[in-house]
Structures are given as structure tokens and as C-alpha cells.
Amino acid sequence: MIRLRLYTTLGCHLCEQQESLLAVLLCGEYHLEKIEISEDEALMERYGVRIPVLADEAGEELDRGFEPPLLAAWLAERGWLDEAAWQSLRRQMGGEAGPREVKSAVMRGGRRYLG
């Protein structure tokens, strides 16, 4: 069984988006431990502006896993990607376009602004 940790906080819509993507893209059984960062000062310091952060058992972390291409690549590196689900999701997203190529979105200073 794949064991993952998700550093999150209550009401984080990006965390919810990452959980949904994970359920679609991860092949096999997994256990997701949600770690509430607001209850620990050290976790707030480390993850406060980075959540959601997904970590595997080795402690390797993924920031911005709510972006499908990033999550898919991270899962593929570990042999955990459901390739058929990823191909289906890519078709739904409009082919090869990643989140930074979405029409009516503008990248400024590393952030995406919807127009």
C-alpha cells in the first residue's frame, strides 16, 4: 500500500483539488494521512505558504500538486501513475496544454491570474 502525507489546513480548496486529482491519477491502494499545519508553529513556518504539499514515505515532497502535470510527473517517477487515467485527464484538459497555457490566464511573477 502506498502511504502519503498531505500537509494541509481547513478550507484549503487547492488541497481539496489535489486530493481529487490524486484519487484519479494514483494507481493502486493508498493511505493519505492529512496533517493539519495550523496546529503546529513549526509546520506553519515550513508549509504555511506552500500548501498543499504531498510527501511520500521517503520524505520527498511535491509542492503545487494540484497542477495535474506536476502531480502526474511526481507519481510517474515513483511508478504510481495510472497512465490511462492521466491520458484521459489530458484529453479533458484539451490535449497537451498545462495549467500555465490556459487561455485567459496570465502569468506574472510566477503566479497565474485569470483574465
Cell numbers found for residue 71: 502531480
Q: Which domains does the chain have, with CATH numbers?
A: 2-114 (3.40.30.10)
**Dihedral (CA of 97, 5, 13, 92) sign:** positive
CB neighbour list of residue 57: distance below 8 Å, 6 or more residues apart? 3, 4
Q: One digit per residue, pLDDT tens: the chain, 115 residues? A: 999 999 999 999 999 999 999 999 999 899 999 999 999 999 999 998 999 999 999 999 999 889 999 999 999 999 999 999 999 999 998 865 444 443 445 666 766 655 4
**Residue 62's beta-bridge partner residues?**
54
Entry pTM: 0.77
DSSP string, 47-58: HTTT-SEEE-TT
